[in-house]
Structure 1
């Protein structure tokens, strides 16, 4: 398995910009804990968002990252449990041809991808992994 470190998809010709279009269900954590996602552990703190996507996948978004990236849908107000939609913020992504792992952030949870999964870069040093079927269902490529 390839261990990725110091990756910057802005400099990778095999990466492209994509945008996610998805309505999700959100529950804000009342206690600290850990959720086991398909790609690995997601530790969370009180107030972090525990997200369930349209494909049934679950993951954690820190409150600092969640607030600027998601908008509440009626009847919920921002900060309440309920339905949300992601804001159409471009991310960099690259389809990986072999198994790989990467830390979500410096010192963060270690995620593991399979051949065909997508390496996501939300910002420098901020990574995720999306399984191929989910990627095809919720992401669309932006023009170059």
Structure 2
């Protein structure tokens, strides 16, 4: 199954993650995490993040280290509080329920109508519940002409 091309979707827009801390634990062994959107495989050393509504999701170690900074008193790679670096991403609010296939055969996520699909680049997609997206991302601009009020 081919990854969803967010940039080609009507209503796609650019967004930036707000600088909010997340709690991070590094996995000691391989496993599967049951996220709100579906089961996701992770490997030892990958980061397991906990967000603003208690939601949990894994991030591959290399992608995590390239995207997050530790809190002031923390060393990179230690469990604790981290903040995502400023990066503009592509996003699209789904009007129907759809499945999103994760890269590297890590799993399949279920997006509900109203959820936002975020493209971090390099075939790295995520599904973010509408309420979580509104509190953790800031919309920057529409990609395709005037945007609707609810995106």
Q: Tell me, yes or no, if the aligned pair for 2:22 and 2:83 is still in contact at 8 Å.
A: yes
**Superposed displacement of residue 34, structure 1:** 1.0
1:57-72 equivalent positions in 2, closer than 5 A: 57-72=55-70
2:64 aligns to what SS in structure 1?
helix
**1:121 corresponding residue in structure 2:** 119
**1:9 corresponding residue in structure 2:** 6
Question: 1-side partners of 2:66 and 2:10: how far apart?
Answer: 28
Question: 2-side partners of 1:49 and 1:139: how far apart?
Answer: 20
Question: 2-side partners of 1:40 and 1:91: how far apart?
Answer: 22
C-alpha distance after superposition, 1:71-103 (max 9, x if no partner): 000221111000000001111110001100011
From 76, 100, 103, the equivalent of 1:102 is: 100
Question: 1-side partners of 2:64 and 2:80: how far apart?
Answer: 14
**Superposed displacement of residue 107, structure 1:** 2.8
**1:87 corresponding residue in structure 2:** 85
Question: 1-side partners of 2:91 and 2:104: how far apart?
Answer: 19
- Residues 143/96 of structure 1: CA separation in 2 closer, same or farther (3 Å cut): closer
| Stretches of structure 2 lacking an aligned partner (at least 5 in a row) | 143-151
Question: 1-side partners of 2:38 and 2:111: how far apart?
Answer: 9
Question: 1-side partners of 2:70 and 2:3: how far apart?
Answer: 34
Q: TM-score, normalised by structure 1?
A: 0.91
What number of residue pairs does the alignment pair up? 141
Q: Tell me, yes or no, if the aligned pair for 2:111 and 2:127 is still in contact at 8 Å.
A: yes
Structure 1 moving runs of 4+ over 6 Å: none
